[in-house]
């Protein structure tokens, strides 16, 4: 799921690698046996480590899922910073280029590891608290998308009569659809085509005439 920062000390790097290995082993077990049928013993046995080693890094198997989702949220938000921030452009051309960069960044996140889309699809079934966390994630992204649309309306390159909130939800629905499609075909080429298709629908529907 994650890479290890080469700038870390040897001890820190070894800890980060062990943490990554535990996450990878856990998600392999989840894929093979299902989340609810996987025990800590299964994860530890796959890695050849003791239970004590596992508990130095994670409280339980649910803690692994929560950590991965939190990290995923951080990566998504990081993709929307700097030149990709909502107010970073003020023309339709700039918005086209910006949304292409965002699409490429999100496609990389979801195609680097095919387990990420599977996690988003299955995490809500873990328990009520995790379902609420996933709903919070989707609710968080709608206002973020709306900021881009509101800025475009103010600058005049998006339609003045744009109904921003439902349009943001519709755009996010298309993005979620592409994430789910990655379960069948996670190749970067396929994700790039889906990203381009989403942008084409957006521009035809919301750009100012």
Domains in the chain (CATH in brackets) are 10-57 (1.10.10.60), 61-206 (1.10.357.10)
**pLDDT in tens for each of the 209 residues of the chain?**
555 555 668 888 889 899 989 998 998 888 788 889 999 999 999 999 999 999 999 999 999 988 888 888 888 888 888 899 999 999 999 999 999 899 888 888 877 777 777 777 778 888 898 888 888 877 878 898 999 999 999 999 999 999 999 999 999 888 888 877 777 777 778 878 888 888 888 877 777 76
Residue 207, strand partner residues: 158
Report the Cα–Cα distance between both ends of the chain, in Å, rounded.
Answer: 43
Cβ contact 46:28 at 8 Å? yes
What DSSP letter does each residue of 39-84 carry, written as one string? Answer: -HHHHHHHHT--HHHHHHH-SSHHHHHHHHHHHHHHHHHHHTSGGG
CB atoms inside a 10 Å sphere around CB 87: 11
Tokens of 92: 């339709």
Tell me: the pLDDT tens digits for 79-136? 888 899 999 999 999 999 999 899 888 888 877 777 777 777 778 888 898 888 888 8
What pLDDT does 107 receive? 80
3-state helix, strand, coil in the chain (%, to 5): 75, 0, 25
Give the residue carrying structure tokens 């919070």: 136
């Amino acid at each position: 799921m994650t890479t290890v920062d080469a700038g870390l000390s040897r001890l820190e790097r070894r800890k980060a690698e062990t943490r990554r290995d535990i996450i990878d082993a856990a998600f392999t077990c989840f894929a093979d046996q299902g989340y609810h049928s996987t025990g800590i013993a299964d994860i530890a046995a796959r890695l050849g480590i003791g239970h004590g080693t596992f508990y130095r890094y994670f409280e339980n198997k649910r803690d692994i899922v929560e950590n991965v989702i939190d990290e995923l949220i951080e990566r998504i938000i990081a993709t929307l910073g700097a030149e990709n921030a909502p107010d970073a452009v003020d023309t339709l051309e700039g918005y086209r280029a910006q949304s292409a960069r965002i699409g490429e960044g999100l496609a990389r996140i979801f195609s680097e590891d095919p387990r990420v889309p599977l996690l988003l699809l299955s995490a809500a079934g873990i328990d009520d608290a995790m379902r609420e966390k996933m709903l919070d994630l989707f609710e968080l992204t709608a206002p973020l998308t709306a900021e881009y649309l509101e800025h475009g309306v103010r600058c005049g390159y998006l339609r003045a009569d744009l109904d921003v909130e439902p349009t943001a939800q519709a755009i996010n629905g298309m993005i979620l659809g592409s994430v789910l499609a990655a379960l069948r075909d996670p190749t970067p080429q396929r994700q790039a085509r889906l990203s381009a298709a989403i942008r084409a629908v957006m521009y035809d529907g919301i750009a100012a005439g």
